[in-house]
Chains A and B, each alone.
Chain A
């Protein structure tokens, strides 16, 4: 397999101390932002700062300890970056809670931030569980087809009468009691596993067998068929559920994993052509797609009631971000609550308004770090499944960030996705924590020293997990 020769003889350091140091900085961001919200909005440090900060610290440190024990060679940057983003998100959601309270607007009884903290706790628990249970990411390869089936079932769930809920025109939620959940967020992870598992097995057949048509070597139908079918089903479901953002996400994921598995750039060309064709078709066929594109091209025109106020949300976000300028208004000094769904899809506009371009760039850089760290894990990973899995997760993450931030800042038409770790929303937060657990697991496998197979068992004593790796394979 693609075991890079340069890696032989090079031993990664564990860097757990560096991770701890970065985590302290990340906590400073989270707790500091929470305190700043209190000072900015109410003029005093929140009374529950110790309890809140303590809880946040406990979660983050617990995650760190588990990583230190079960994935000692894991990438040291991922967890701190995620902790910083999650902490910042909590503070901004809290800020918006306070704004909704002054407005007398409906909020959940305990506030969105409180809910989000519960979700974050759940996310960290699943993160820990994933790291402990999944000692080797290659185990997941066994669940290739199960994952694919699971993904499709999850995507179908919202269509079940009585269970599914339509929110803002998209039927992508299921409601259980007071909780809403977006199964698509979990399906996303399962789909990456399924794609990676299938493609790594069939990559040679896909890349080599088949006929050459013009520039492209088309694979045999029996090789490509299953994955194409799965992709079409998931895409079809999404189109009927009117969730454009996720459709784009799954398409991008399909394309990227196929390209990486086959190493044929032609797939990117074909895929881009298909995407453009599909986009043009969607523009013609679906009224709501055309509307979104027009709104994106002339946001200020559609702002007024007399033009349907279709662009009220993106334009308010633009006004807010412009008003924030380079360094922002400061917590409590802006009015981010003017943007509908400011605490979920549009949380970045709240950050842009009150913390300025500086913070927006910082957030984008954090996402960039996560993506590039994930791809780095893919690069050094020693097995093809791990490479594909890490690349797929990185691609999903990068595309999601691009689509949502691009939509909020009017770079591309608005599609509606959550901003990972920042946005209010349980399904997204939990799923993303699990993604990070998977990435850490892959990077741990990738960075740990190559087990010395020639030596006796005594040498491997300090590294019992490494020994297990070999057994699994």
Chain B
């Protein structure tokens, strides 16, 4: 019977060999893909055991990990939850969003930048701690934007974005309605689930960062892009006469565009008057004069149809139709920021910032520095140019027009005594009968040495339909944000 016994022993050997090979495959070759599975809670739980780095605004943490005496060692806390939630996002047992997600490697301490720190911790047997992320946000501007937008009547849905034109730093980013990330970072997992459920089912979409994820028709604020295209065409400057009149009918159609009662003269009118009074007829006509192709080029030069924000996500791309054979009726609509034109508040802030910065649009960014747990700077973001949207001379012509729009036109609510402010209002048709128009406002200041560019978007607020106007409601908010920076 020995021969079959030997055969059996070879067979057993093969069985055990298979077990060992399979275990090796599982624990060595497949390990990293298993670790990276988003449903693998172990990795998340392990991150609760390590002190996560802070997210800093100024020198104040807006998100930090505090020692906890329950089953996990640290509790993520948000000091000013509602004001910063759209930026920080939240760090929960189930998932992460915002900066918490994008900078997870740094905050959790896994980033290769923190290698030396980790090595030292390992040698000294210290529990390793994550690095900190310093945001570009200016706390005063953020507060002004948040308070201003929140002060509007009713349940506000809207957003404010402020940029530093010279660098592209995001100085303020507010989105309403907002939420309390502390509730999602809680260690009471059933309450986390129910909070998240409630937030994600809320029809007002509090989890949405409207500054970068909501794109709406920009309405009249888009007229500065149309104006930019017109001036870039070489036919106009700030002192030119542009087509005016009470009505404009694009070629080949009978769709009449009017000015809703604003004074836009007859025949040709001064460019300044057209922008001050936000003349639809003028900009619809200019758009057709420039042509669909050049209009698209100009919009894209400012960042439309492209992705440019790496520090936060997901980002909705602002849209401008690119069909060069667009019918004149639609081209006229794009000239006044309607039809298929849709922009995020960040995009409109970039339009203002580009003009403020002599035509150069800087790539917007939110993370200023990555710091070690000992607050040594490990990486500092260098400003980079996104595009040259218009020439410096066009920019200065546009600035003149926008200054006069604040001084003598619809953007007057943003005027700051003693400071030259450039701005433009917008009230965009939503295109739906039961949805009120959206109010927009973009501006920058001081006009001769711009420090800040702002975009305000009010998607919905407790304002009677016929009172909605970008200037009246958006202007004061933009003014408060600009003042916060200029002080």
Contacts and interface: CB of A to CB of B under 8 A. Distances in A.
Do A and B truly interact?
yes
Interface of A: 2, 4, 102-103, 256, 259-261, 263, 265, 300, 303-304, 318-326, 334-335, 338, 352, 356-357, 360-361, 364-365, 367-368, 371-372, 375-376, 378-379, 384, 387-388, 391, 394-395, 398-399, 401-402, 405-406, 409-411
5 contacts: A263-B1, A318-B34, A319-B41, A323-B42, A406-B19
Given A323-B31, A325-B31, A338 B37 contact: no
Contact of B15 (A261, A319, A352, A402): A402
Contact of A335 (B6, B32, B39, B42): B42
A9 B4 CA distance: 25
Given A325-B28, A406-B18, A319 B8 contact: no
A85 to B, nearest CB: 14
Contact of B26 (A102, A322, A335): A322
Interface in B87-142: none
B31 A372 contact: no
Contacts of A256: 8
B13 to A, nearest CB: 7
B37 A394 contact: no
Contacts, number: 138
Contacts of B30: 318, 322
B80 interface: no
Contacts of A395: 8, 12
Interface in B1-37: 1-9, 12-13, 15-16, 18-20, 22-24, 26-28, 30-35, 37
Given A320-B42, A379-B2, A398-B12, A409 B31 contact: no
B9 A375 contact: yes
Contacts of B189: none
Contacts of B198: none
Interface of B: 1-9, 12-13, 15-16, 18-20, 22-24, 26-28, 30-35, 37, 39-43, 45, 71
A371 B12 CA distance: 8
Given A263-B4, A319-B34, A360 B23 contact: yes
A29 to B, nearest CB: 19
B8 A304 contact: no
Given A357-B23, A364-B23, A391-B5, A402 B16 contact: yes
A371 B16 contact: yes
Given A321-B27, A384-B1, 11 more contacts: A259-B7, A303-B39, A319-B41, A323-B42, A325-B31, A356-B27, A367-B16, A368-B16, A372-B12, A387-B2, A399-B15
Contacts of A356: 27
Contact of B24 (A260, A357, A367, A410): A357
Nearest to A377: B5
Nearest to A261: B1
Contacts of A324: 27
Given A320-B42, A411-B22, A357 B8 contact: no
Contacts of A338: 41-42
Q: Is the interface of A mostly helix, strand, loop or mixed?
A: helix
A360 B37 contact: no
A394 B37 CA distance: 39
A319 B16 contact: no
A460 to B, nearest CB: 28
A198 B197 CA distance: 65
A320 to B, nearest CB: 7
Contacts of A318: 26, 30, 34
Given A323-B35, A324-B27, A375-B12, A405 B1 contact: no
Q: Is the interface of B mostly helix, strand, loop or mixed?
A: helix
B42 A319 contact: yes
Contacts of A4: 2
A387 B28 contact: no
A323 B40 contact: yes
A367 B19 CA distance: 11
Contacts of A334: 42
Contacts of A411: 18-19, 22
Contact of A319 (B5, B19, B23, B37): B37
A409 B26 contact: yes
B27 A325 contact: yes
Contacts of A326: 27-28
B419 to A, nearest CB: 57
Contacts of A371: 9, 12, 16
A13 B282 CA distance: 109
B34 A379 contact: no
A365 B20 CA distance: 9
Contact of B34 (A322, A378, A394): A322
A260 B28 contact: no
A352 B22 CA distance: 12
Contacts of A367: 16
Given A260-B4, A379-B6, A372 B13 contact: yes
A375 B1 contact: no
A441 B35 CA distance: 47
B276 to A, nearest CB: 57
Contacts of B37: 300, 319
Contacts of B7: 259, 265
B22 A394 contact: no
Nearest to B22: A411
A360 B12 CA distance: 17
B6 to A, nearest CB: 7
Most B C-beta atoms less than 10 A away, residue of A364, A372, A395, A406: A364
Nearest to B40: A319
A304 B94 CA distance: 13
A15 to B, nearest CB: 21
Given A260-B5, A304-B39, A326-B28, A409 B23 contact: yes
A78 B458 CA distance: 78
The list of the 5 closest CB pairs from A to B, nearest first, reads A322-B34, A322-B31, A357-B27, A411-B22, A368-B16
B3 A263 contact: yes
Contacts of B4: 259-260, 263, 265
B5 A387 contact: yes
Contacts of A402: 15-16, 18-19
Nearest to A390: B5
A378 B5 CA distance: 7
Nearest to A349: B26
A392 to B, nearest CB: 10
A321 B26 contact: yes
Most A C-beta atoms less than 10 A away, residue of B15, B18, B32, B41: B15
A384 B4 CA distance: 13
Nearest to B36: A322
Contacts of B2: 2, 4, 379, 387
A405 B15 CA distance: 11
Contacts of A265: 4, 7
